[in-house]
Structure 1
Amino acid sequence: MDIINHSPPENDLPNMGKTANRVLHNAGFYRLEQFIKVTESDILKLHGVGPKAVRILNDALKEKGLSFAKKP
């Protein structure tokens, strides 16, 4: 019998509150580097993620020299 590892992918997202973290995980976001491909507006469209969570993400991205994608 094969044992399947069902552990979640490595997560380096800051703590933004249970709801925002859960919504982002369910949307497939686990690493800060994933946010460079989406805009702040894209993230704010997710129900359960508000301006406070985006502000926390922005701060964490800046610490790593990263940023959200710019609006086209």
Structure 2
Amino acid sequence: MLYVLATLLLAGEHQLPDGARHGVSRMPSRTKEQPQSSFPKGIGKPAQRALASVGVSRLDQVTRFTEAQLMALHGMGPKAIGLIKAVLQADGKTLARGE
């Protein structure tokens, strides 16, 4: 089978798709640009997924939650909470107060 394919290619009767002759892959690139996150730099993916699980897609939406509520989310930790609080404070905002 390989001999037949090689013979046909050498005879010029069939052509491989562009790039296939030299082993060039036509696979899509994995380096596509990711959309900018609305969360501060340094917030890990687990924390971002935790926030998304409660409907938070922008940092200003975090202000409706208390620190305890955020800490209860799987994926949120002290580092993420600290970064969020620092960015909110710089914007003159805070997390909701516990009752």
User: Does TM, normalized by the shorter one, top 0.5?
Assistant: yes
The answer to which of 62-71 and 12-21 deviates more is 12-21
Task: Note if 1:53 corresponds to 2:80.
Answer: yes
Distance 1:63 1:12 in 2: 15
Q: Which has the higher contact order (CA 8 A, sep 6+)?
A: 1
TM-score with structure 2 setting the length: 0.57
Please say which structure displays the higher CA radius of gyration. 2
**RMSD value, Cα:** 1.6
Give 1:4's aligned residue: none
TM-score, normalised to structure 1, is 0.76
- 2 CA distance for matches of 1:33 and 1:18? 18
Q: Percent identity of the aligned residues?
A: 35
Amino acid at match of 1:19: P
Q: Structure 1 residue runs of 4+, over 2 Å off?
A: none
Instruction: Give the paired residue count.
Output: 63
Structure 2 stretches lacking a partner, 5+ long? 1-35
